[in-house]
Amino acid sequence: MEKRAKAFSTVNEYVMEFPKDVQRILGQIRHTIQKAVPGATEKISYQMPAYSLNGKTVYFAAHAHHIGLYPGAGAIAAFKNELSGYKSAKGSVQFPLDTPMPFDLIERMVIYRIKDRLTPRS
């Protein structure tokens, strides 16, 4: 299902390349991110949807058997316990397509990466 051969110019183009069931999941992730950080700029970067605010970016991508979320190493470390049931790497996590998508966790990770990290701690 990898759709990397085509150059995408919009997130809509990207989403439309996938089967309807995956489009639905991608749309829900997109909505979750937009709700979490309404001021973020939506774009295609590295041929996947990306959301940026003040230099912080989160990406996501559909793959054959999972959705990859790329919130950076800090977010992966901060949510390590909640991510223990998923395959992850230093700055990414894989959410299998055949299990319910953890939208609440995705939202919190995105907020951590883009929004909360911008607020200085006292």
pLDDT digits (tens, 9 = 90+) for 31-84: 999 999 999 999 999 999 999 998 899 999 999 999 999 999 999 999 999 999
Q: Which carries the bigger pLDDT value, residue 31 or residue 118?
A: 31
pTM attached to this predicted model: 0.89
Per the prediction, the chain carries an average pLDDT of 91
| CATH T-level topology, domain 11-115 | Aspartate Aminotransferase, domain 1 (3.90.1150)
How high is the pLDDT of residue 86?
97
Give the residue extent of every domain in the chain: 11-115
Does position 11 have pLDDT exceeding 70, yes or no?
yes
At residue 5, the pLDDT reads 61
| Gap between the Cα atoms of 68 and 88, Å rounded | 9
